[in-house]
Amino acid sequence: MKRREFISLVGGAAAWPLAARAQQVTKLPTIGYLGLGTLATESQSVASLVQRLRELGWIEGRTVAIEYRWAEGHPERFAEIATEFVGLKVDVIVTRGGAVLAAKQATSVIPIVFAAAGDPVGGGLVASLARPGGNITGLSVQAPDLAGKRLELLREVFPDLRRLAIMGNVDYAATVLEMHEFQEAARTLRLEVIPLEIRRTEDIAPALESLKGRAHALYVVGDPLANLNRVRVNTFALVARLPTMSALREYVEAGGLMSYGPNVPNMFRRAADYVDKILHGAKPADLPVEQPTKFELVINLPTARALGLEVPPTLLARTDEVIE
């Protein structure tokens, strides 16, 4: 071997560990955030997640990288985004709802943290809440008789409720389950149920128009499609003088009457703790799924007044937040 070639070879071999170490230093752990809607519709959840990560020492751009992708209310994009994250070799995927199953189908290796899932066991996401198994864990929004509780709260404000419309995106599995539960609860209370099935934005206006004179109130199932169009839905409901109920406070902030459910931004904050543990070496299989311990009631008083409804003082006293 020529002397020059030998020196080059030795020099290259000596330099390789330095280059490798430099690469390891610059490559940050990466989180893939699969958003169901848009940055605008999920800004509070993203802010809660990022803030908690900062508190735990994971500073975006310095100690951790976050790849954001948005399905923009189109469930068919979940699988495409999840597959992209697999290709990027992210260290953990954070998402919620129906996108969790798409992520699970895309990878059995990359850890997945769901910030909110309706029925993780029944939906086949985890083996059990205490021992999830596999590569998935997170926070469940599952709780007994939530549909019945929401109806009771709605009737406290609107005692004359007899006919209830339920609107939801039937292409979204979690929505179909929630619609079924709500229909069962409504029938138990001897309410007439008017289902409004939507699949795309163009279905919303005709569905709402069909309600005129037929319903006393509207329950909106909070899937990504409905969430993107929540201002439109609430505007129609206000003009049609229909009290609305939802599981998500975002609907009340956008002009809906009331909501009862877990605080989703807070659940994303708690999801950050799962991410922290996983990035420090914990396995999702060993991290039990959390269930909500507190549900918040939010009421929009200007909307109540516009609908000519008086919120009982006893209900106001139990309300977690009143929007004035």
Percent of the chain with pLDDT strictly greater than 90: 68
pLDDT tens-digit readout, 13-40: 444 444 444 444 568 999 999 999 899 8
Q: Looking at residues 116-130, what average pLDDT do you find?
A: 87
User: Taking the model in full, what pTM does it have?
Assistant: 0.79
- List C-alpha distances in Å: 47 to 28, 54, 223: 20, 10, 20
pLDDT at 25: 52
154 has a pLDDT exceeding 50: yes
CB of 20 closer than 8 Å to CB of 264: no
Amino acid identity, position 61: G
> Looking at per-residue confidence, does 314 or 9 come out higher?
314
Which domains does the chain carry? 9-141+264-286 (3.40.50.2300), 146-261+296-323 (3.40.50.2300)
pLDDT tens-digit readout, 56-73: 999 999 999 999 999 998
81 has a pLDDT exceeding 60: yes
